[in-house]
Amino acid sequence: MPGRLPVDEQLDTLRAMLSRNDVLMEVLTRTARLELPGWYVTAGCLFQTVWNVVTDRPPTHGIRDYDVFYFDGADLSWEAEDEVIQAGREVFAGLPAEVEIRNEARVHLWYEDKFGVPCPPYASSEAAIDSFAATTCCLGIRLEAEGRWRVYAPHGLADVFNLVVRPNPVLAPPSVYEEKAARWLEHWPELTVLDWPRPR
């Protein structure tokens, strides 16, 4: 099982698995051209590609969109973020997938209206990745100089390889976790979904 490999071999295995998703590789390559501060391709398109490879499904099976995070605290206006989104539409034109770009420096401005709980301002894209509803989601990749991959995985990779969905009760309410887990189980019934911790 890849989740039992030494960490350096896990990273090699991760890269090999993700490289089988041609759409993902194109999103990574094109995002690098935007030169966004602190950017990552993150969330479902990464761990779901791994799930697909592990379960012998097509690499893009069940992937709804490709999330790109960046962090620009210098301008928190919607207009500045929208300018980046429009530039992304041009860069990603022709891809058979939806790419969603978000400035994580602005999340605290709209999060409570959408999810019903307040979100403290993030200090970085990494801090935003840390707050996903499941630790399995806490994964980000970006391309750096000479084709190097920067991998951000604060909870490691074992759960991703082992098809384990583990709650991350730091921000999102339980309903968000449970809704996502239910949707994932429809596409990947092999998953082991751990319960949200309940107050004692």
| Digit-coded pLDDT (tens) for 36-57 | 999 999 999 999 999 999 999 9
DSSP readout, the chain?
Answer: -GGGS-HHHHHHHHHHHHTT-HHHHHHHHHHHHH--TT-EEETHHHHHHHHHHHTT--TTTT---EEEEE--TT---HHHHHHHHHHHHHHTTT-SS-EEEEEGGGGGGTHHHHHSS--PPPSSHHHHHHTSSBGGG--EEEE-GGGPEEEE-TT-SHHHHTTEE-B-TTSS-HHHHHHHHHHHHHH-TT-EEPPPPPP-
> Given pLDDT bands bounded at 50, 70 and 90, which one contains residue 20?
very high
What is the pLDDT at residue 8? 73
Q: Which residue has the tokens 């449970």?
A: 178
pLDDT of residue 199: 74
**Is pLDDT at 4 greater than 90 in this prediction?**
no
What's CA 79's distance to the chain center, in Å? 24
Q: pTM of the entire structure?
A: 0.93
pLDDT at 146: 81
